Amino acid sequence: MKVNSAEFIISAVRPNQYPEDGLPEIALAGRSNVGKSSMTNRLISRKNLARTSATPGKTQHLNYYMINESMYFVDFPGYGYAKVSKSQREAWGKMIEKYLLERETLRMVVLVIDLRHPPSKDDVIMYEWLKYYERDVCIVATKADKIPRSKWDKHIKIVKHGLSFVPEDDFVLFSSETGLGKDELWSVIERYAFALPESEDDEEVAQVETENEDHSLEMEESKPPQSNQ
């Protein structure tokens, strides 16, 4: 996907601050300093739009970025940083839970995992959380450039096993440094962002079936009467 425009919109802390234009949203989740911001900047071919930080746990809001005026990336707070207070973690958890449960424009969650290491306990909890709320998920195994290519398959298996990965979900090998996986990830994002929600899809199918039935009825009624000879 060619990105013609990308802009930071808002750091939202309450639902009434979320955009209300109905554009599809792709959420970005992962532990602190896993590389979500670097991944985002690589995807949109910008250096500093998504803010990278040397201070883990700095992102404390839902950061909205508008892409091509047609969708939003929603950057979740990084999880798993020990120095963040318990009360702050609980507040983030409630905010994310409410978003996952109620946000109708959320199309898919990109869960970023460090390919070099087995999934952390927090990674596993987040993935289980997303599956509990029946959200579509794409696992992005990033920092692939830090591992020899010959060991990729081994580490992919470790990540999938650690998460109890569901085969129906998408899995993309990625590197913010080299651009590996960029096109593949965009294909996944576009597939979810611009697909009709199931309810709308069902309504369209029902409408087509109704129209076909009406057309068949009209054809029957327009047939000339058969003579009784």
pLDDT of residue 46: 84
pTM: 0.81
pLDDT of residue 127: 97
Residues composing the chain = 229
Sign for the pseudo-dihedral over CA of 95, 100, 106, 111: positive
Residue 128: pLDDT band by 50, 70, 90 thresholds?
Answer: very high
List, in sequence order, every residue forming a beta bridge with 142; answer none if it has no partner. Answer: 114
* Averaged pLDDT, 175-204: 84
CATH of the domain spanning 6-193: 3.40.50.300
As a whole number of angstroms, the distance between CA 13 and CA 92 comes to 9
Residues 205-224 pLDDT 10s: 455 555 555 555 555 555 55
Residue 32: pLDDT band by 50, 70, 90 thresholds?
Answer: confident
Q: Where are the chain's structural domains?
A: 6-193, 197-224
Q: Where are the beta strands (DSSP E) in 124-167?
A: 137-142
pLDDT of residue 229: 47
Residue 52: pLDDT band by 50, 70, 90 thresholds?
Answer: low
Q: Strand 71-75: give its sheet, edge to edge.
A: 6-12, 62-67, 71-75, 25-30, 106-114, 137-142, 170-173
Residues 67-117 pLDDT 10s: 999 999 999 988 876 556 677 777 778 889 999 999 999 999 999 999 999
CB-CB neighbours of 52 under 10 Å: 15
Closest CA to 130 of 161, 91, 159, 170: 170
As a whole number of angstroms, the distance between CA 182 and CA 41 comes to 11
b/e per residue 90-104 (b: at least 16 CB within 10 A): eebeebbeebbeebe
pLDDT of residue 61: 85
Count Cβ atoms within 10 A of the Cβ of residue 48 and give its class: 0-12 exposed, 13-18 middle, 19 or more buried: exposed
Torsion of CA 12, 87, 53, 123, to 10 degrees: -100
Residues 6 or more apart in contact with residue 25 via CB below 8 angstroms: 71, 72, 73, 74, 103, 105, 106, 107
**For residue 225, is pLDDT > 80?**
no
* Averaged pLDDT, 49-76: 79
Residues 142-167 pLDDT 10s: 999 999 999 999 999 999 999 999 99
